[in-house]
A = this chain, B = another copy of it.
Amino acid sequence: MATIPDNVPEHNLHVDYVICYSFGDVDRSQAIEQLEKLLQALAQVGLQVEVRQGDESSLLVFVKASERRLKRAVYRSRVRDWLYGIRNAEPTPSNSTEPQTEAERLRVINHMITLPKEEGGAAITPNHGEWKNVTAVFPLHDVDTNKKWIRDWSSKTFLSDDDLDQIRNKFGESVGFYFAFLQSYFRFLIFPAVFGFSCWFLLGGYSIIYTIVNCLWCIIFVEYWKRQEVDLSCRWQTKNVSAVRTKRREFKAEKEVRDEGTGEMRGVFPATKRMQRQLLQIPFALLAAIALGAIIATCFAIEIFISELYNGPLKTYLIFIPTILVSALVPTMSAILTSIATKLNDHENHETSDAYDVALTQKVFVINFITSYMPIFLTAFVYVPFASRIVPYLDVFHLTVRPFVSKEHAVAKRSHFQIDPARLRNQVVYFTVTAQIVGFAMETIVPYIKQHALRKYKKYNKERNGKMDRNGDKESPERPVVSFDDPAEEVQFLTRVRNEVELSEYDVTADLREMCIQFGYLALFSPTWPLVPLSFFVNNWVELRSDFFKICMEFRRPVPLRTDTIGPWLDSLGFLSWVGSITSAALLYMFSGNKQHGPNGEPTDIKGWALLLTIFFSEHLYLIVRYAVRAAMARIEPPNSRKERAERYLMRKRYLESTTTAEVDEDKDEDDVTSMAQSTDISRKSLEDDARRASLHGADPATRFWMHQRGWTESAKIGAGIIQAQPTNGGVKKQQ
């Protein structure tokens, strides 16, 4: 017990993992049998267990790793890392006692619990197969540290590298990468926030300078982050970590094939078949575009109709219809589409979880792209240029010519229809300010309040039941067993654990997606309203803290995962920044300057060819600049990467030197031979004679060729002879 490192918090009673074992829905004897199996499996890999009651139908199995077995597992995991090129130096059993981070400890113990038996784990697969009853495996929050950090960070503007390292040490690289990204993004936003504010103040919207700077900033940020990823992955020793791929449990092999190389049986699924299935993505994307597009466009049309055309009764109330419709239908449709996407993704039958996640992220991104940006696209590229032509058709039911208003009045209204030029800006403001605040509330505050209310309600319920208990039957089925049999000193601890069990699992991709979509608004539409980056800057200061608060308070502590990237979201960022070069140019051309306006406020002097030419140039300029920035970034080596390279270089050098040293003795022998050959002073003539003699004795031509001169001194003499036989200067001699 004395060997437990200091970084394991004392108040978690040295508990590494909590396994939640539910027995509510199975036969009692079966449940007991399965529990025994579970405990035995854990004990076999060297994990100590303690059982306590969870809620009415679950047990809490507390798990602690024996230090000896843990040390061995750490060593094994490091050897594997070394073999896959994640670590540079070969680990030895002795140096595996070096200080581990808490994340490494938890990761290795998680591997001990979940890895298949042949790789040295207990093969516990939560919610899956024979371990269906194991509903959760998670570490416990380090409450004190979390509280301290939340307090500390609220008084800082930027997190230091050290803070990020701390996050990584507690929650693993995957969460660490998210916060590092958020921090980089936040820090990078300073410039456009200041610049955007100045532009807004001095030049207003649609300023060409702001647009160019914004596009350039997007390129630099994306490329900078790529570089930063390399740097971080060197710093956190997770470079190439994606090479260690874990097979998905759900992967269904089509046939077993003997691998030619390794000689093992291996389940395969033909890549071509998977690609055929992936083709379904195209109809899916179309479906998503049409389904969501139809909803959004319809609501949009209704809104315009009601707000700008309709003038009948109840207008004050009707105006809320589209908002209600959008709020109700879009999330529903998104949920449906997401579930279709997940099914499609399952159907694609990916072999590794990485591939699965990437494929799913792509599909989810399509849905998000449509829901997030389509309303603005509709306003900018459909409503403004074409509204005067389309809007009159909106009045399909001739509501405006209903008896409520006189026909003449209605017609007059219709001809008075005016395109609202501020509409686009207002929409951008809505999405980049209001929606962000609403999102923050929905994501952090509401769940927190809900959680507390629920706990209060439960407590109240319990107390009421407790009172009833004291009066009634001790064996009453309604009796809450929450504190049943708890030793007095553990009551507080067990209550906390039971609360944590009830929390849901944290998924970092949801937060990454949010940031990625946010970046999209900046890249795509910020020329409309240059205060966008300022708004995001403020928002992200809060976001960073609230996300950390969320992880600590509203989710179970995540199992540390290693990664060397923010994954497919990086591609999404690049894609958005590219599309931004197109939309920015289009917005700028269409809305900047003093365009002539038609009678209904529609711009009349937008030329198709000029718009397309603007886009063409803007896009290609973007690509050229991106190429240049990328090339420039590639030249500047990130500091940790340089360090890592130096380490590797030193390792190689040591190794090469050790092989060279072994040669030195041999060299000496050989040198002696050479010098001996030099010292025996054989005349050139006699050697040449030797050769001739050898030729007489029938040696092959090659042997004879190489016997003319023995040793380099001989060759030098003969060479000198040839040189001296030549005239010093042909020209001079010729004149003789």
Give chain A's interface residues, CB within 8 Å of chain B. Answer: 1, 10, 13-15, 21, 23, 28, 31-32, 35-36, 39-40, 42-44, 46, 48-51, 53, 56-57, 59, 61-62, 64, 68-69, 72, 75-76, 79-80, 83-85, 120, 259-262, 271-272, 274-275, 477-478, 481, 484-485, 487, 489-490, 493, 607-609, 611-613, 615-616, 632, 635-636, 642-643, 645-647, 649-653, 655-656, 659-660, 663, 666, 670, 674, 691, 695, 700-706, 708-709, 711-713, 715-716, 718-720, 722-728, 730, 733-734, 736
* Chain A residues touching B, majority SS: helix
Q: Choose among A21, A670, A712 the residue with the greatest number of B CB atoms under 10 Å from its CB.
A: A712
Contact B712 A659 (CB under 8 A): no
Contact A709 B50 (CB under 8 A): yes
Contact A723 B32 (CB under 8 A): yes
Contact B701 A646 (CB under 8 A): no
Contact A734 B477 (CB under 8 A): yes
Q: Which of B72, B478, B490, B730 contacts A705 (CB 8 A)?
A: B490
Task: Looking at the assembled complex, report how far the CB atom of A317 sits from the nearest CB atom of chain B, in whole angstroms.
Answer: 44
Closest to A649 in B: B262
Contact B702 A13 (CB under 8 A): yes
Residues of B within 8 A of A28 (CB): 723-724, 728
Q: Which of B83, B85, B612, B656 contacts A79 (CB 8 A)?
A: B656
Residues of B within 8 A of A489 (CB): 695, 701, 704
A647, B709: Cα distance in complex, Å: 47
Q: Which of B43, B272, B691 contacts A711 (CB 8 A)?
A: B43
Closest to A10 in B: B702
Having A50-B708, A83-B652, one finds 16 other A-B pairs with CB under 8 Å, namely A13-B702, A28-B724, A32-B723, A36-B716, A50-B705, A51-B722, A59-B722, A68-B670, A80-B652, A261-B645, A275-B632, A477-B733, A478-B734, A489-B704, A608-B613, A612-B612
Q: Choose among A615, A636, A663 the residue with the greatest number of B CB atoms under 10 Å from its CB.
A: A663
Contact A646 B260 (CB under 8 A): yes
The number of times this chain is found in the oligomer is 2
Closest to A728 in B: B28
A-B contact pairs, 12 of them (CB 8 A): A1-B703, A23-B726, A39-B713, A43-B674, A59-B723, A79-B659, A80-B652, A83-B652, A84-B652, A275-B632, A481-B725, A487-B691
Contact A261 B706 (CB under 8 A): no
Contact A49 B261 (CB under 8 A): no
Contact B650 A49 (CB under 8 A): no
Residues of B within 8 A of A42 (CB): 712
Residues of B within 8 A of A649 (CB): 261-262
Contact B61 A655 (CB under 8 A): no
Contact A715 B57 (CB under 8 A): no
Contact B652 A39 (CB under 8 A): no
Q: Which of B84, B120, B712 contacts A39 (CB 8 A)?
A: B712
Task: Looking at the assembled complex, report how far the CB atom of A257 sits from the nearest CB atom of chain B, in whole angstroms.
Answer: 12
Q: Which of B10, B14, B57, B493 contacts A726 (CB 8 A)?
A: B57
